[in-house]
Amino acid sequence: MPEDGRRYEVIEGDLIVSPSPNYGHQFVVSKLLRLLGAHVDAEIGGTVLCAPFDVKFEYDSVVEPDLLYFRAGHTLKESTKFASVAPDLAVEVLSPSSHERDLGAKKKLFAKHGVPHYWAIDPDARTLTEFELSGELYRVAAERSETESFEPSLFPGLRIAVSALFPPPDPA
């Protein structure tokens, strides 16, 4: 892929170019990275990574989830340029330009390659949806709004106030 500052992904042979993420998107990613990273380091082990880092499922499918988690014993070598194994969790922060793809083609690709947990976070709706792999398809395991807390099954003992993932609303 060219190194021109754009995000490139290939999903089953289709090249997708995405614009740079906005402030709200990056706020969610950085907040979740800090929350998960602290919990993983203190409680269960493993590795939490954020984009840009590719997951190459096959020759014609290379994606860049916003956040990835690999459980302890399933981590990558320091020199690894991309993951060629399925992460234990893939997280996408939805945006108007990626919403349909993240909940459609990418979610199907993650399921096809056995990613057991997939989260979709919608900054506009201020919601978090947790999907768990059941057979070959994802089922909704939890849907939380900004007024609720989220206790992900993958991270025992972790409780996330969904509202804390989002920047404060713009002043009127």
Mind listing the pLDDT tens digit for each residue in 105-136? 889 888 988 899 999 999 999 999 999 999 99
Query: Is 48 domain-assigned?
Result: yes
CB count within 10 Å of CB 19 equals 10
Contact 158, 39 (CB under 8 A): yes
Contact 115, 92 (CB under 8 A): no
Domain count, the chain: 1
Query: Is 78 domain-assigned?
Result: yes
> Which pTM was predicted?
0.83
Predicted confidence (pLDDT) per residue in 15-34, tens digit: 666 666 778 888 999 999 99
Report, as an integer, the average pLDDT of 146-158.
95
Q: pLDDT over 70 for what percent of the chain?
A: 78
Note down the domain range covering 62: 21-165
Residue 104, pLDDT > 70, answer yes
- Mean pLDDT across the chain, nearest whole number? 83
Query: Is 13 domain-assigned?
Result: no
d(CA 3, CA 126): 32
Residue 56 is part of a domain; what is its CATH number?
Answer: 3.90.1570.10
Report, as an integer, the average pLDDT of 55-66.
73
Residue 85: its pLDDT value, please?
A: 75
Residue 148, pLDDT > 60, answer yes
Report, as an integer, the average pLDDT of 26-47.
92
Listed in sequence order, the residues at least 6 apart from 81 whose beta carbon sits closer than 8 Å to its beta carbon are 54
Query: Is 39 domain-assigned?
Result: yes
82 vs 31, residue with greater confidence: 31
Residue 106: its pLDDT value, please?
A: 84
